[in-house]
Amino acid sequence: MPVKKIGVFTSGGDSPGMNAAIRAVVRCAIYYEKEIYGIYRGYQGMIEGEIEAMNVRTVSNIIHRGGTILKSARSQEFMTSEGMQKAYEQLQIHGIDSLVAIGGDGTFRGAHEFYNLYGIPTIGIPGTIDNDIAGCDYTLGFDSAINTVVKAIDNIRDTANSHNRLFFIEVMGRDTGYIAVHSALAGGAEAYMIPEKAMSVEGLIEILEAGAQNKKSSSLVVVSEGNPSGGAYELAQKVKEKFSYYDTKVTVLGHIQRGGSPTVFDRILASQLGVAAVEALLEGLKELMVGRQGQRLVYTPLGETSSVEKGIETDLLRINKILSI
């Protein structure tokens, strides 16, 4: 069946670049003379029929904005057969015959199940600051998030150097340490604590003691919130009990990492993926996520985006170790 009406929505946690992707999807659909509909509040809005036609002016002046103009929500109801039935009925009412889903692993799991039940062609665009989606080098929002984190680290280092302080900086990353590893390297941190490569408190203290012996005036430790040895506050307390060379402080960056204008990299990536998603639907592709690996666009089955683990680049771990002395 030829594509006539495309629905686009964002789901799960918001990330910088989502608006740029929405803009690209809407304008590309109109360029190819297709109707385009925005579905508000993700799957929950799909269930409740919060669906509106979009046009070129709808997405004017949003490429630079963080968040998502289509709003986002997590929907437990959608994960039931009754909820999916309601969502399908609303799409039928509006005549929507294909979807572009912008989000992370939860979004794609839902899209995969929905496709299996109702067969609506769907193309996913990876949008999450965690960068934990297989099938792409970088997800939308990751570059913006680590730039926000590194700016904070630079500011914190100024005060750390002034007062002989040890700072524990907690970043997002419940299940993955991508943000922590990249920002630790770019921010010149002495150590990082991540879910994928657990380090004991004793191992961390050894690193900090070596720095103290080298007369370091301050030290920074970047901690993923999902670190198995504990969060920043817990780690700071454990270290303080055994190592008192520095005055120990904690900063939890929290949701500041999700906000703000997307970087140039994320705006360009969003534009590429938005156009590729629409063109994939027009070519008859379905139940896939579009991502960029190197300079190529690649397509990954939605069911594999969360089932296949995306590991941290081992070379970055090696470089971090070399440069943190």
Helix (H) or strand (E) holding 6: strand 5-10
What CATH number does domain 5-141+262-304 carry, 1.20.960.40, 3.40.50.1000, 3.40.50.450, 3.30.67.10?
3.40.50.450
Catalytic residues: 130
The Cα 225–Cα 169 span in angstroms is: 10
Q: For 143-258, which CATH superfamily applies? A: Phosphofructokinase domain (3.40.50.460)
Three-state SS for 311?
coil
Give pLDDT, residue 1: 79
Give pLDDT, residue 149: 98
Give pLDDT, residue 301: 96
The two structure tokens encoding residue 275: 């156009």
Q: DSSP character for 190?
A: S
Helix (H) or strand (E) holding 275: helix 264-282
Task: Name the residue ranges covered by the structural domains of the chain.
Answer: 5-141+262-304, 143-258
Exposed (0-12), middle (13-18) or buried (19+): which is 197, by Cβ within 10 Å? middle
Number of residues assigned to the chain: 325
What CA dihedral angle connects 173, 179, 181 and 186, to 10 degrees? -160
The Cα 217–Cα 279 span in angstroms is: 54
Give pLDDT, residue 160: 84
Write down the pTM of the prediction. 0.95
Residue 167 forms beta bridges with which residues? 220, 249
In CATH terms, are 5-141+262-304 and 143-258 the same topology?
Answer: yes
What CA dihedral angle connects 305, 265, 148 and 255, to 10 degrees? -40
Dihedrals phi, psi of 8, to nearest 5 degrees:
-125, 140
> For each of the chain's 325 residues, which pLDDT tens digit applies?
789 999 999 999 999 999 999 999 999 999 999 999 999 999 999 999 999 999 999 999 999 999 999 999 889 999 999 999 999 999 999 999 999 999 999 999 999 999 999 999 999 999 999 999 999 999 999 999 999 999 999 999 988 888 888 999 999 999 999 999 999 999 999 999 999 988 899 999 899 888 888 777 788 999 999 999 999 999 999 998 888 878 899 999 999 999 999 999 999 999 999 999 999 999 999 999 999 999 999 999 999 987 777 888 889 999 988 998 7
